[in-house]
Structure 1
Amino acid sequence: MKHRGRHRRRRRGAALRAVLTGTALALTAAATLISVSQADVTDGPGALKPLSSPADTGRLRLQERLVPARTLDRLSAAMGRPVGVDAVLASADRAMRTSAGCSSADRASLPVAPAPARAWCWDRADSAGTAWRPASVTTSGDADDDGVWGRHRVVLAGWTHSTTTGRAAERGLARVAFVNADDPARPAYRWVLLVVPVDGGRNYRGLSSGISGMVWYQDKLLVTARSGGADALYVYDLDRIQRTSVDGPAIGRVPGGWSADGYRYVMPAIGSYRFTAGHCAHSGPPCPGALALDRGTAPDSLVAAEWTAPDGDRNARLWRYAFSTSPARAGLLATDARGRAAAVQAYRTRAAGIRGVLSYRQPGADDASWYVGRLPASRDGHGTLWRQDTAGAKAASCGADGSHRCWAEAAGSLSYWQATGEVWSLSDRMLFSTPLADLDGSLG
């Protein structure tokens, strides 16, 4: 349950901003020079093109499907009283290392410009030789505007298992690292496996979907669903985390209790959103990719970017949905009487291979700027981060050849922590943050 104490927490946020301002890290990645083709230097995504026709916006419409309360109640009655974020953080069993304690290969994956203010690498048990890869990030700065959930600063990082390598039972599964970030020098985390109730709450299965995007808003966690169907998002309740009772490789109900491939905690989905126009396709709904929260709109909104291949010729769409303002629908999207959520704004960009998206309105600006983090066409090495609006696009330059490939390697989603002014993201090896002011200062 969220506990309030805004004035005290805002003072803590101000103190943290002061720390961030004065303690930028001297990272090895900042000195890295990248050699790329001239196309990487000059090929920008151009200006955003607004999409307003019903034919365009209709493809973005979602149908909400909530899991019946009796299903969730049956599952919790069988597994025991649900727990919240505090219980997961209290049992954190993995330690992160600050950049000074990370390998040179880890640090080389970080952005070149701007250099991160803070960076951490994962426990070696999770980062060395596994088929799990991080792709999405959200924080308690998204969950509540004071940046604190209960008594804690929290970062959530979404990881997806490869569908082609590693143990067959794990392939395609999704898990979330709950990171206790109260002490930036010693963050620690615990895994929670994402699952979906089945058989009316008498059992559950693992969520088999890449979670390339993730947003924690109020008490809900929205993640992308890319499992080959028409589902766009799954919804989770941070107050409905369940403990498992059997340490075994199975997922679901087993003789003697509940198992989750060795994980102590599972979080069952409480709903989903599905495109009304069917499966994602070039002429239909987008394949969901990156997600982020925008608190600069009224009401707050969920922004999204379409996933398209970085080496293809299919340009992506960017769009947003409004969140509901009803207390009875905390953390859910605004819907009509039929349970449908319509996009309230949409654009076409010439960018492809988008792994991160963020929307933020600068003071005095008429409209928001959109930040898009892209993979290179070769899918290796550093990517690019562009700031776009309807007038054009800008990106940082680095290296002797003025390359725009200055962002992180295999960079994931973006999350803006309003209380501290930080932008959070992750490479394929590290979690990092940088002040939004530094990011803007690096953009051309």
Structure 2
Amino acid sequence: MKHRGRHRRQRRGKALRGALAGTALALTAAATIVSASQAVSSDNPGPLKPVTSAAELANFQLKEHLASKSSLDRLATSMGGTVGVSTVLERTNRTMRNTAECAPTETEALPVAPTATRAYCWDDADSASQRWLPQSVTTSGDADEDGRWGANRVILSGWTHNDAKPDEPTVSQGLARVAVVDANDLSNMTYRWVLLVVPTKDGSDYRKLSSSISGMVWYQDKLLVTASPTDSDHKSLYVYDMNRIQRTSVDSPAVGKVPGGWSAHGYGYVMPAVASYSLTGGTCDPASDDRTPCFGSLSLDRSSTPDSLVASEWFPSGADQRSRLWRYSFSGAGDRSGLLATNALGRADAVEAYSTKATGIQGVLSYRSAGDEKADWYIGHAPGSKNRHGTLWRLDAEGAKAARCGTDEESRRCWAEHAESLSYWEGMGEVWSLTERAADERAGWRGTPVPERVLYAVPLSSITGSLK
């Protein structure tokens, strides 16, 4: 479920590969979940159309805003200093369930084809919570080429508070949190939540993010997340420093400084934003058909030179607009780790952009295989209705191909149900994604939740082999 958009939107190393090959799970049972009659076709989006005019490319330009180090240090000092990812991993308090422990409704949400070789379900406290929506994923395979952050293998998953759920208290609305998952042992993964916050300019306090993190990329020491069009500071992206995780001291529903210390809605850790990016053309407007893009999904492309941040926008399935896909280069400067490449005015320009007829884009990925002249673009299409598998498309200038679970034209709905963002862990050769739903049987938020949330990985080779 997206809570963002423009016109008519709802908003919504090789060594590792060898070491991990023996841990892959055979999830062939998922292939029997959906019959050919259920796997109905979606319209072929056709070839990508390059965006080449300077005027159109200017719509993607970002302005960088860096928080002052002194204000960040002031906040950190007042909270007792900073900790790193390893500290959070040492204190994980929730357990991922392996495939055999997942409920039938959870495994049924997995892709039909190509089948997942790893799949996990969330702790019981989170698997059926209607208050939260899992929407994005990134890994230490994005953060560093060796696939580890320090000595640890880590997965991050971004969850947004479900503000559409009736009767949610105001203090909960707009919250955004990240599951920091210990993936050192892929058969026994645990995690802990960290709340994302935005510090005041002087570093004396912080507020909740108040944005939907539908896209998220961990690159070097930074975590970039999407912001909603309704963001109070009119930002499109927020940036977090993985070395600036801070402990809270008061367990209360509040977010920020409270009598006796610091609170984060009951969470033990927060990450304050250290930078942000806004569109120079103004804030994107969900209610108007302007040319300013609203950020939907994000991913990292390590096959580009330099490494780049890939983005997509979202329209409802079947809308008549053309969605756009675009990228920014990351900076190569030693003092700008994890930040985008900018000019002397602090502006980041899109280095490539395309439009596509595809709508309902919930995940985007770009990757150029060795020997190929250009990158292929992968998008995950999610239908609007409940209990329907989506479609995974590969797009290029020649046309579109879909991963299929059959041989006829009615076999494209083979991707996961309500799948969200995509992340390619190059060292493992796997595309990671996750599903979102825990709605009731009517796809509403008042009845008994139906758990359909799963974190899974599919080899990129299996995806390319299933394309027809």
Shorter chain as denominator, the TM-score bin is: over 0.9
Specify which of 236, 239, 242 is matched with residue 235 of structure 1: 239
**1:276 aligned partner, one-letter code:** T
Q: For 1:216-255, list aligned pairs within 5 A.
A: 216-229=218-231, 230-255=234-259
Q: Which moved more, 1:181-190 or 1:305-314?
A: 305-314
Specify which of 305, 314, 321 is matched with residue 312 of structure 2: 305
Q: For 1:51-70, list aligned pairs within 5 A.
A: 51-70=51-70
Higher strand share: 1
- For residues 284 and 142 of structure 2, the distance between their equivalents in structure 1, rounded to whole angstroms, comes to 27
Q: For 1:8-407, list aligned pairs within 5 A.
A: 11-16=15-20, 18-19=21-22, 23-34=24-35, 40-41=40-41, 43-165=43-165, 166-198=168-200, 200-229=202-231, 230-281=234-285, 282-378=289-385, 380-398=387-405, 402-407=410-415
| Residue ranges of structure 1 left out of the alignment (5+ in a row) | 1-8
C-alpha spacing 1:201/1:377, structure 2 compared with 1 (3 Å): same
- For residues 327 and 418 of structure 1, the distance between their equivalents in structure 2, rounded to whole angstroms, comes to 23
Give the TM-score normalised by structure 1.
Answer: 0.94
Contact 1:210 1:227 in 2 (8 A): no
Q: Could you list the per-position Cα deviations for residues 100-141 of structure 1 after superposition, in whole angstroms to 9, with x for gaps in the alignment?
A: 110000001111111100000000101224310101000000
3-state DSSP of counterpart to 2:59: helix
- For residues 157 and 100 of structure 1, the distance between their equivalents in structure 2, rounded to whole angstroms, comes to 21
**1:221 aligned partner, one-letter code:** L
Contact 1:303 1:319 in 2 (8 A): yes
Contact 1:160 1:175 in 2 (8 A): yes
- For residues 266 and 220 of structure 2, the distance between their equivalents in structure 1, rounded to whole angstroms, comes to 29
Contact 2:175 2:208 in 1 (8 A): yes
**2:327 aligned partner, one-letter code:** R
Q: Could you list the per-position Cα deviations for residues 68-119 of structure 1 after superposition, in whole angstroms to 9, with x for gaps in the alignment?
A: 1111011011001100000011100000011111000000111111110000
- For residues 368 and 244 of structure 1, the distance between their equivalents in structure 2, rounded to whole angstroms, comes to 43
Contact 2:363 2:421 in 1 (8 A): yes
**1:19 aligned partner, one-letter code:** G
**Pairs aligned (count):** 432
Q: Could you list the per-position Cα deviations for residues 194-236 of structure 1 after superposition, in whole angstroms to 9, with x for gaps in the alignment?
A: 0000151111011010001000000000000014244211000
- For residues 128 and 27 of structure 2, the distance between their equivalents in structure 1, rounded to whole angstroms, comes to 24
- For residues 431 and 423 of structure 1, the distance between their equivalents in structure 2, rounded to whole angstroms, comes to 11
Give the TM-score normalised by structure 2.
Answer: 0.89
Contact 1:411 1:427 in 2 (8 A): yes
Q: Could you list the per-position Cα deviations for residues 217-270 of structure 1 after superposition, in whole angstroms to 9, with x for gaps in the alignment?
A: 000000000142442110000000000001111110011100001100000000
- For residues 412 and 67 of structure 2, the distance between their equivalents in structure 1, rounded to whole angstroms, comes to 45
- For residues 65 and 342 of structure 2, the distance between their equivalents in structure 1, rounded to whole angstroms, comes to 11
Counterpart position of 1:4: none
C-alpha spacing 1:389/1:299, structure 2 compared with 1 (3 Å): same
C-alpha spacing 1:388/1:238, structure 2 compared with 1 (3 Å): same
- For residues 399 and 295 of structure 1, the distance between their equivalents in structure 2, rounded to whole angstroms, comes to 32
Counterpart position of 2:433: 425
- For residues 222 and 368 of structure 1, the distance between their equivalents in structure 2, rounded to whole angstroms, comes to 22
Q: Could you list the per-position Cα deviations for residues 34-84 of structure 1 after superposition, in whole angstroms to 9, with x for gaps in the alignment?
A: 56789x515111100000101110000000011111110110110011000
Contact 2:152 2:184 in 1 (8 A): yes
- For residues 94 and 377 of structure 2, the distance between their equivalents in structure 1, rounded to whole angstroms, comes to 34
- For residues 155 and 98 of structure 1, the distance between their equivalents in structure 2, rounded to whole angstroms, comes to 15
- For residues 188 and 334 of structure 1, the distance between their equivalents in structure 2, rounded to whole angstroms, comes to 35
Higher helix share: 1
- For residues 421 and 86 of structure 1, the distance between their equivalents in structure 2, rounded to whole angstroms, comes to 25
3-state DSSP of counterpart to 2:353: strand
C-alpha spacing 1:161/1:28, structure 2 compared with 1 (3 Å): farther
